[in-house]
Every structure is written in structure tokens, then in C-alpha cells.
């Protein structure tokens, strides 16, 4: 046990973490830079954060992003859950492999192609591009992720639970609502979170499907960077990193706690 931290192990660990986190640390560090120039240190300041919250364009973009993410994550989770239920429950039918393949295919489809195809669709249908086209585009691709997350849990779902509910007087719909959904809730929530994050992150598909007046945050950042990086972007990125980190930490604390509770429960059951 005492040999765990040999110089070799320590060095590889350090190198690995430096490679992963050094760029991010630099980004955070320079967000507190007094100077206008991103790469030159001019003293500590939080003025870029203040500037950021005064910039209406950024705030608008943030609002659009949030709304797109909320709506698309919710829709994608609903549709993805339905798809997962059918794929897992329907058993064998003609073309089942084709259908399940088609659900998974968009996961590996290059984003550029997804974006382009959606753009062509919206143009040919004469739909004005804006908030709803971005949302629809996000629903289409994040729905696949949601379906995968939900169906992987659905496979292990004991269908005799639903039968038990029907046996005790529930119609099939009632048993789905009262038994299946609550048990599937963790998977559905993680599907929603995943869809939400995917939507927040997306730059490529949003660029293809957005129109005037609907700019998402990643698009805004990207366009700003092309005009020159200001510490304001650093500040914004730092805030995003903070939000994501808090999310991850909360999620892992929650999982740990349920795990601990389960262990405790099992001990209780044994005694």
C-alpha cells in the first residue's frame, strides 16, 4: 500500500491533470484580469463580470439558450421515453432492428450533417428560422440520447410490476403512470439533464437552424471570439464552468447519499 505513490505514478497523475485542467485554470485566472488584453496580467479585478451583466446582447443570448434548453430537454425526454418504452416493450416486430438502429444513428451522425439537413428542411417548408427552429433541431438530436438513457434502464425493469398493478385494478395507462413512471424517474431525470446539457453546449446545429433575433450563448461567444477575445468571455466561461461544476458535484453527492442509504437499508433487512 505504501508504494502507491511512487515518483512515476505521481508524475503521470500530475501531468494528466495539468493537461486536462491547465487551460481552464488559465481561463479562469484571466477572467479576473484588470487589463483589456487577455494574455497580459494587469492586476486583480472583477470588472469584467460587471460588464458582462450590463451587456444586453449576452443576457439575451443567455435567456434564449436557457429557454431552448428547457423546452427541448422536456420535449426530447417525453419523446425519448415513449420511444424507449416501445422499443423495449414491443418485443419482436418486423423492422425492429431497423427502427432501433435508426434511433441510435443520430448519435454518431456528424453534427454538420444534422444541422444542414434540418436547415434544408426548414427552408423548403418555408418556416421562419428563429427560436422554434433551434428548439426543434435540439429536440431531434437530444431525443436520441434520452431514448438511449431511458431504454437502458427500461431493459432491467421487471414488467411483472406493471402486471401486478393491473392485477390490483389499474388500467394499463394507470399502471404506467402509478408504477412505471415513478420507478423510471431517475433514468428520466438523467435523460432530461443530459438533453439539457447537450442543448446548452450545442453550437453547430444552432448555427445552422437559428435566424435573426435568436442567438444562443455558444453562438454569441463564438462570434465574439472571432472579433477578438475579451476578458468578458473569460468571465462568462468561468460562470458556466461554475454552474456545470456545481451541477456535477450536486449530482454525485445525491448518488452517494442514495447509495449510502441503500447500504444502510440492506443492513436493516439482514438483521
Residue 61 near residue 215 (C-beta atoms within 8 A): yes
Q: Is 174 a binder of another protein (CB under 8 A)?
A: yes
Shortest CB 180 distance to another protein, Å: 10
Q: Is 164 a binder of another protein (CB under 8 A)?
A: yes
Q: Is 108 a binder of another protein (CB under 8 A)?
A: no
Smaller CB distance to another protein: residue 124 or 160? 160
Smaller CB distance to another protein: residue 128 or 266? 266
Q: Is 228 a binder of another protein (CB under 8 A)?
A: no
Q: Is 176 a binder of another protein (CB under 8 A)?
A: no
Compute the C-alpha angle 175/178/180, nearest 5°.
Answer: 70
- Contact residues for 88 (Cβ-Cβ < 8 A; gap 6+): 151, 154, 155, 157
Q: Is 268 a binder of another protein (CB under 8 A)?
A: yes
Which of 6, 166, 252, 258 touches another protein by CB under 8 A? 166
CA distance 168 to 227: 65
**All cell numbers assigned to 62:** 443567455
Residue 254 near residue 189 (C-beta atoms within 8 A): no
Interface positions, 119-158, toward another protein (CB under 8 A): 158
Smaller CB distance to another protein: residue 98 or 269? 269
Shortest CB 99 distance to another protein, Å: 21
Which residues, listed in sequence order, are joined to residue 33 by a DSSP beta bridge? 44
Smaller CB distance to another protein: residue 64 or 165? 165
Q: Is 89 a binder of another protein (CB under 8 A)?
A: no
- Contact residues for 166 (Cβ-Cβ < 8 A; gap 6+): 172, 175
Shortest CB 163 distance to another protein, Å: 6
Q: Is 167 a binder of another protein (CB under 8 A)?
A: yes
Smaller CB distance to another protein: residue 12 or 171? 171
Smaller CB distance to another protein: residue 10 or 159? 159
Interface positions, 183-212, toward another protein (CB under 8 A): 183
Alpha helices (runs of H) in the chain, residue ranges in sequence order: 7-31, 47-54, 56-89, 96-108, 111-125, 131-154, 160-167, 172-175, 181-201, 204-209, 217-227, 231-270
Q: 10 Å Cβ neighbour count for 99?
A: 14
Q: Is 255 a binder of another protein (CB under 8 A)?
A: no
CA distance 149 to 143: 10
Q: Is 15 a binder of another protein (CB under 8 A)?
A: no
Of 58, 231, 236, 211, the closest CA to residue 136 belongs to 211
Which positions touch another protein (CB under 8 A)?
158, 160-161, 163-171, 174, 179, 182-183, 262, 265-266, 268-270
Amino acid at each position: 500500500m505504501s508504494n502507491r505513490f511512487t515518483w512515476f505514478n505521481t508524475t503521470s497523475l500530475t501531468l494528466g491533470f495539468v493537461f486536462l485542467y491547465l487551460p481552464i485554470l488559465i481561463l479562469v485566472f484571466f477572467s479576473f484580469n484588470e487589463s483589456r488584453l487577455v494574455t497580459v496580467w494587469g492586476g486583480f479585478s472583477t470588472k469584467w463580470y460587471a460588464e458582462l451583466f450590463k451587456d444586453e446582447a449576452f443576457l439575451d443570448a443567455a435567456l434564449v439558450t436557457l429557454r431552448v434548453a428547457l423546452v427541448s430537454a422536456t420535449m426530447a425526454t417525453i419523446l425519448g421515453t415513449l420511444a424507449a418504452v416501445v422499443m423495449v416493450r414491443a418485443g419482436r416486430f418486423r423492422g425492429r432492428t431497423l427502427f432501433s438502429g435508426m434511433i441510435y444513428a443520430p448519435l454518431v451522425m456528424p453534427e454538420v450533417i444534422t444541422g444542414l439537413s434540418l436547415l434544408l428542411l426548414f427552408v423548403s417548408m418555408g418556416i421562419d428560422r428563429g427560436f422554434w427552429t433551434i428548439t426543434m433541431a435540439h429536440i431531434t438530436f437530444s431525443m436520441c440520447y434520452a431514448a438511449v438513457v431511458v431504454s437502458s434502464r427500461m431493459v432491467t425493469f421487471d414488467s411483472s410490476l406493471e402486471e401486478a398493478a393491473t392485477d390490483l385494478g389499474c388500467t394499463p395507462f394507470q399502471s404506467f403512470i402509478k408504477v412505471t413512471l415513478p420507478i423510471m424517474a431517475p433514468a428520466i431525470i438523467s435523460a432530461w439533464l443530459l438533453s439539457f446539457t447537450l442543448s446548452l453546449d450545442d453550437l453547430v446545429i444552432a448555427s445552422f437552424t437559428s435566424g435573426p433575433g435568436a442567438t444562443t450563448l455558444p453562438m454569441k461567444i463564438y462570434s465574439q471570439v472571432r472579433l477578438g477575445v475579451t476578458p468578458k468571455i473569460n468571465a462568462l466561461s468561468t460562470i458556466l464552468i461554475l454552474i456545470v461544476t456545481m451541477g456535477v458535484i450536486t449530482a454525485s453527492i445525491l448518488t452517494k447519499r442514495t447509495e449510502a442509504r441503500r447500504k444502510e437499508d440492506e443492513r436493516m433487512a439482514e438483521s
